[in-house]
Structure 1
């Protein structure tokens, strides 16, 4: 039987969620409540629309020539992909049969047992680490960073390629001591290909208002180029590549 899952949307030619041109599946459902989330409409698993693995592969293969030419593939994002781990695993299994590169964009908030099965069919992990400081992480997301850091260590143990994503929020995630601690931690891992510094933005604020949620970061402005470069320099001190 063709497995089904719930998704928020599909993007046919993504260029920021892994190498090359990507077919991106945004799944529905997320256990985190990030204060800067630009897709709060992905939080509830019951929302979105139902779709089968076969439907996703059929649509994705329409763009196969673009993927092949650019070194791209399929990325599962969200929401949090691991909240539908069986569904994601089946998509990736089919991708491997079709020789399509696979990437997962995750907060890492998942038990290792659930992650291991998906990772067997995953070529690249885009791991979002919101903060190395657990108090900051909990205030920002509503959960602990314990699972995320455990996953990061496991990914190093199995030598799975990882891009770290770090959202720079002025006054929250720009503390130099916290960033140094994160850089030091990442420098002990063997599989980190690069750190992506993502500047905070408020493009999703209107969604919060539409859904009746209180947006707490309305008075925060995006970081300046100088702010971003200062954070990049900290990672560079630990021989970590940034973009």
Structure 2
């Protein structure tokens, strides 16, 4: 039996999606557990590792194999998301390795905060990294996420050194990341890396509010409205000006 099949982890859920989790149609495995507490998080049900469903990598990949032809035709693949996949590095490595053996394009969706846990074998099995840089100023990052920015930047530089393709993600949050300085700093940093293929500029939304209500939690950004289309376009233009493709 292939060694990766028996690696155990905790899975929140899985889904098949198009356009948001990497190129083409993707089988997305959402792992449980996350060390950050982003104020705008729309999946609070994934925070705690213990709330996940026990599963082996083989069980997850057997499910994905049923969609293999569909994924191949759409030029899609397999994405490990979360939560934060690098909270369970062995499980994530096994999922990516198994997906590669199925012949699928692989993607890792991460904040980079736990990037040091991604060993060389895990990254060797990863075709694309979807990397969230949530803010540029360290104090803003800490206030927005509860974590530190430095590990994410170090991980981004490591990926650049490996020439690993990256799609950068940046969420525009009014009052937090919508000022010009935030986008300008990230744009300059990303342009210098040389491996950022595109930047997804994502407007903050309130679609996760009902989940907070069901969990008996207060939504931290209650009362904050999504950014205007003009602000989102200005942020995109800042990435364009740095020579990056922004969508």
**TM-score scaled to structure 2, two decimals?**
0.95
Are 2:162 and 1:158 aligned?
A: yes
Candidates 9, 13, 38, aligned match of 1:5: 9
**Aligned residue for 1:72?**
76
Q: Which runs of 5+ in 1 are unaligned?
A: none
Which stretch shows the higher mean deviation, 112-121 or 184-193? Answer: 112-121
Single out whichever of 213-222 and 184-193 deviates more from structure 2: 213-222
In structure 2, how many angstroms separate the alpha carbons of the residues matched to 1:216 and 1:113?
Answer: 29
Q: Is 2:234 the counterpart of 1:230?
A: yes
For 1:53 and 1:111, the matched residues in 2 are separated by 21
Q: 1:217 maps to which residue?
A: 221
Query: 2: CA distance between counterparts of 1:124 and 1:139?
Result: 28
In the alignment, the residues of structure 1 paired with residue 167 and residue 160 of structure 2 have an alpha-carbon distance, to the nearest angstrom, of 12
Native 8 Å contact 1:14 1:23 kept in 2: no
Alignment of 1:136 with 2:140, yes or no, is: yes
| Whole-Å separation in 1 of the counterparts to 2:141 and 2:14 | 29
Q: Secondary structure at the match of 1:29?
A: coil
Measured in 2, the distance between the counterparts of 1:15 and 1:61 equals 20
Task: State the match for 2:98 in structure 1.
Answer: 94
> What residue number does 1:109 align with?
113
Contact 1:12 1:60 in 2 (8 A): no
Q: Is the 8 A contact 1:6 1:48 kept in 2?
A: yes
Q: Is the 8 A contact 2:115 2:152 kept in 1?
A: no
Report the Cα offset of residue 111 of structure 1.
4.4
1: distance between equivalents of 2:17 and 2:182?
35
Name whichever of 111-120 and 91-100 sits farther off: 111-120
Aligned-partner SS, 1:143: coil
| Alignment match of 1:202 (pick from 199, 206, 219) | 206
- The farther-off stretch of 13-22 and 196-205 is 13-22
Give yes or no for contact 2:240–2:246 (8 Å, CA) kept in 1: yes
Once the two structures are superposed, what CA deviation does each residue of 1:90-144 show, in whole Å capped at 9, x if it has no partner? Answer: 1111122221110010000114253433111000000011001111110010001
In structure 2, what is the equivalent of residue 149 of structure 1?
153
1:40-86 Cα distance to aligned partner (Å, 9 max, x none): 11000000211111111111011111111111000000000000010
Q: Give the Cα–Cα distance (whole angstroms) in 2 for the partners of residues 226 and 114 of structure 1.
A: 37
The answer to whether the 8 Å contact 2:89/2:117 transfers is no
SS at match of 1:46: helix
What RMSD in Å do the two structures reach over aligned CA positions?
A: 1.2
Structure 2: any 5+ residue segments left out of the alignment?
none
Shift of 1:5: 0.8
Identify the range of structure 1 (38-47 vs 14-23) with the bigger mean alpha-carbon deviation: 14-23
Look up the match of 2:30.
26
Matched positions, count: 243
Farther off after superposition, 161-170 or 203-212: 203-212
Distance in 1 between residues matched to 2:168 and 2:115, nearest whole Å: 19
